[in-house]
Copies of this chain bind each other. A is one copy, B any other.
């Protein structure tokens, strides 16, 4: 098993943190090998942000994402840039507050992550955790409990609760 996950959006949305949390959940709490990378091209100027995670049964020798099995996207620009690289059996999870999808031959699930974060939790900045909770629920790539622990390890002290609530909000949104 090797899964390539790309999380994308713009700077300040916590894209990187979402990737880090997912990698940590998979490796530390599920026993997989995981590597999370950022490579930065000139397109990152102005604030495009991207976080790639490889989760594998085996050692990850080649940690770059070429064909993301799962693409998470929290900006239109990122959506347009990366949606073409998703294979036909892949999955796109997008923040429907911010992204209008266009590709039709790949499964898409929209989650109004930014809206939910703002309206339900009063904190736009946890939209990343809302969409991560949705991704987990849709893919089962790690257990909820592993994801929760990885969040608790990774977020600033004192913000654990609101981040875990955001995960649950995203999960609930796609279960309904």
A16: which B residues are within 8 A, CB to CB? 16-17, 20, 154
Measured in the bound complex, the distance between the Cα atoms of B44 and A154 in whole Å is: 11
Q: Does A63 contact B (CB under 8 A)?
A: yes
Are A37 and B63 in contact, CB atoms less than 8 angstroms apart? yes
Which residues on B sit within 8 Å (CB–CB) of A171?
Answer: none
Docked Cα-Cα span, A28 to B36, in Å, equals: 19
Contact assessment for A23 and B40 in the assembled complex, using a CB-CB cutoff below 8 Å: yes
Indicate whether A49 reaches chain B with its CB closer than 8 angstroms. yes
Report the count of interface residues on A (CB-CB < 8 A): 34
B11–A40 touching, CB < 8 Å: no
Contact with B along A1-40 (1 / 0, CB 8 A): 0000000000110101100100110111100001111111
CA A60 to CA B62, docked complex, whole Å: 11
Given the contacts A16-B20, A125-B156, A153-B11, A35 and B39 also touching, CB distance less than 8 Å: yes
> Complex: how many Å from CA A47 to CA B149?
10
Q: Which of B14, B44, B125, B155 contacts A27 (CB 8 A)?
A: B44
A44 touches B63 (CB 8 A): no
Please pick, from B12, B17, B45, B155, the residue contacting A28 in the complex, using a CB distance under 8 A.
Answer: B45
Chain B residue numbers with a CB within 8 Å of A45 are 28-29
Query: Are B49 and A28 within 8 A (Cβ)?
Result: no
8 sample A-B contacts, Cβ–Cβ < 8 Å, listed by A number? A12-B153, A12-B154, A12-B157, A16-B16, A23-B38, A28-B40, A35-B39, A49-B154
